[in-house]
Amino acid sequence: MTEHEDLSHERLKHHFAQRVTHQARQILEIWQRMQTQEWSPAGLAEFSEANLRLLRFAERFDQPEHSELSQATDAVLQQVADNRGRLSSPLITELNRLMQRLSRTGLRHGDQLGHTALPPLRKPIYILLQDHERAQRLSTQLEFFELSAVAFDSPGAFRQAMIERHPAAIVMEVDFAGPNQGLALAEEVQVGLEQKLPLLFFSQHETDTPTRLAAVRAGGQAFLTGTLEVSSLMEKIEVLTCVAQYEPYKVLIIDDSRAQALHTERLLNSAGIITRTLTEPIQTMAELADFQPDLIILDMYMPTCTGTEMAKVIRHNDRYVSVPIIYLSAEDDMDKQLDAMSEGGDDFLTKPIQPRHLITTVRNRAARARHLKARMVRDSLTGLFNHTHILQLLEDCTFRARRENRPLSFAMLDLDHFKRVNDCYGHPMGDRVIKSLALYLKQRLRKTDFIGRYGGEEFAIVMPDTDQESAYNVLNMIRQRFSEIHYPAQPNDLWCSFSAGVVQLHGESDSLKMASQADEALYFAKNNGRNQVQRFTR
């Protein structure tokens, strides 16, 4: 085979791989949608059909890993069908495990190193600003984050593009083509769409409440004011367009009546919610540590203790202070219900309860709890995990990796000469660089990797199922590409780089030891000239 034929073969192979990973994304989008609504037979049928399509593509284009995953998914769906469409926690858990594995497959950003995730969005971002040159500059900068963007200078060009192809998201200045005309234009192009497009509005000036209200009515899901720069824009686009949380909610049911617990379990399983049941309340704390539920359903009256007593025990542990507790009891005395809720409970449901009422209450409470927890454990500037939580995640992953005999790597990153950036360009520019690196890491790493802001200009990354060499290769590629990003500034444009140290879990090492070793490797990278990744060696 000639060199030219070999190159053509590789391009063809890559094209087929993209077809398969695109279908994988379709399945994950359906899976994500299923988490926000009751799992109807129609939803399961759509999920099954998409999975069979993936299986056909994977076999036709010789993608064995996707083929294996789709076959395993089909086997689970067959068990659901054999069980007359009834779901159980083990089946939901297995489907979730397969979906998490699927999310880690497929080439992304041309990554050929085996450390992979879903492909980036193929649809472009449409940008409509009064200042067309500024829109074009933003479009160019978004390319660094593997996003294509198209800037429009007239409503006519935008309308024509909408006829030809829908975008991944629209960035619209409220006064594009005239005062508040952007609002009207955005509303106009979405008329008749079954699924509204992600829409972000922008205004150079602070806006009043009527304008904000009009933006909401036009379908706006985010609103930015002031200077529109790429890191803020990218942050919002990431939230609006990513295939986000597709992990089902987890609920711990504590009830001494096995029959009642089984009934509650079946109702929640039918909505795709993973459950675990305890009939011995004394085991609660051990179960919480192992299961880490999003929500607890607690019986009021049990032989060994009351529900309110157990709620107090749970609330004594800081880690579970924010986990919602719902009492489920036949108690209909309003005063007793209110007393129970004042003792650590968040809601009180009276038996018998309508299935839909239970499912909706659980979903809403669990979703709210996840949202609040995300805010508590994340850094306000970057949206990454904070120092305390990234170390907690490293500890959890260390325990899991040792138990399952799987590789685990940990990395520490530090921006080079960052004090010089703050001194020469000011702290706002320093914040832009920090946010830019945070976004770049989120784009380039897998959804299953954990990224934290360790402090100041320092970052930490927990990489499950990754050996040191793979982690090194991925981080080194990210380092090379990140150093190419330029930031428009005066008197000269700015380029930044980072140094990193990476270590793999070995022997009797614990999370603190890994953090210390990664820091040691980072120190060596700094002293060795910066702008490099160093492996920890014993």
pLDDT in tens, 150-159: 999 999 999 9
**CA angle centred on 154, ends 152 and 157, rounded to 5°:** 70
For 463-493, the pLDDT digits (tens) are 999 999 999 999 999 999 898 887 777 777 8
Q: Could you give the 3-state DSSP secondary structure of residue 163?
A: helix
Strand ranges (E), 216-337: 222-225, 250-254, 274-278, 295-298, 325-329
Picking from 54-63, 115-124, 454-463, which range would have the lowest pLDDT averaged per residue? 115-124
DSSP 345-393: -SEEEESS--HHHHHHHHHHHHHHHHHHHHHHSB-TTT-SB-HHHHHHH
**Which residue, 407, 510, 522, is CA-closest to 455?**
522
Domain 125-241 identical in fold to domain 250-376: yes
Tell me if the bond preceding 488 is cis, omega within 30° of 0. no
Picking from 23-32, 78-87, 115-124, 368-377, which range would have the lowest pLDDT averaged per residue? 115-124
**CA angle centred on 164, ends 160 and 170, rounded to 5°:** 75
For 429-444, the pLDDT digits (tens) are 898 899 889 988 987 8
pLDDT at 222 over 70: yes
Q: How confident is the model at residue 17 (pLDDT cuts 50, 70, 90)?
A: low
| Residue 110 pLDDT | 34
| Residue 104 pLDDT | 67
Tell me if the bond preceding 352 is cis, omega within 30° of 0. yes
| Residue 390 pLDDT | 94
The residue ranges of every structural domain in the chain are: 14-103, 125-241, 250-376, 387-535
| Mean pLDDT calculated for residue range 133-145 | 82
- Strands lying side by side in the sheet with 533-535: 450-455, 458-464, 408-415, 498-504, 533-535
Question: Does CATH number 3.40.50.2300 belong to domain 125-241?
Answer: yes
Would you tell me how many other CB atoms lie within 10 Å of the CB of residue 364?
12
| Residue 398 pLDDT | 92
| Residue 129 pLDDT | 95
CB-CB contact of 518 with 536 (8 Å):
yes
| Residue 184 pLDDT | 92
Superfamily of domain 387-535: Reverse transcriptase/Diguanylate cyclase domain (3.30.70.270)
| Residue 13 pLDDT | 56
| Residue 73 pLDDT | 93
Q: How confident is the model at residue 115 (pLDDT cuts 50, 70, 90)?
A: very low
Q: How confident is the model at residue 116 (pLDDT cuts 50, 70, 90)?
A: very low
Tell me what percent of the residues of the chain surpass a pLDDT of 70: 91
Q: How far is CA 385 from CA 187, 375, 429, 449, in A?
A: 36, 9, 22, 11
For 166-199, the pLDDT digits (tens) are 888 899 999 998 998 999 999 998 888 877 888 9
CA pair distance 176, 163, nearest whole angstrom: 19
Q: Which tokens sit at 243?
A: 């295939």
Q: What is the mean pLDDT of the chain?
A: 85
pLDDT at 108 over 50: no
* Domain 250-376 CATH class label: alpha beta
CB-CB contact of 143 with 98 (8 Å):
no
Would you tell me how many other CB atoms lie within 10 Å of the CB of residue 172?
27
CB-CB contact of 205 with 225 (8 Å):
yes
| Residue 101 pLDDT | 81
More confident residue, 7 or 276: 276
Q: CA neighbours within 13 Å on the CB side: how many for 258? A: 0
CA pair distance 344, 332, nearest whole angstrom: 19
CA pair distance 210, 159, nearest whole angstrom: 26
**CA angle centred on 445, ends 439 and 450, rounded to 5°:** 85
- Look up the pTM and report it: 0.61
CB-CB contact of 169 with 189 (8 Å):
no
pLDDT at 400 over 60: yes
Would you tell me how many other CB atoms lie within 10 Å of the CB of residue 332?
10
CB-CB contact of 222 with 201 (8 Å):
yes
Q: How confident is the model at residue 132 (pLDDT cuts 50, 70, 90)?
A: very high
| Residue 107 pLDDT | 36
Tell me what percent of the residues of the chain surpass a pLDDT of 90: 36
Would you tell me how many other CB atoms lie within 10 Å of the CB of residue 199?
23
**Tokens 């930490």, residue located:** 460
**Tokens 């990234």, residue located:** 390
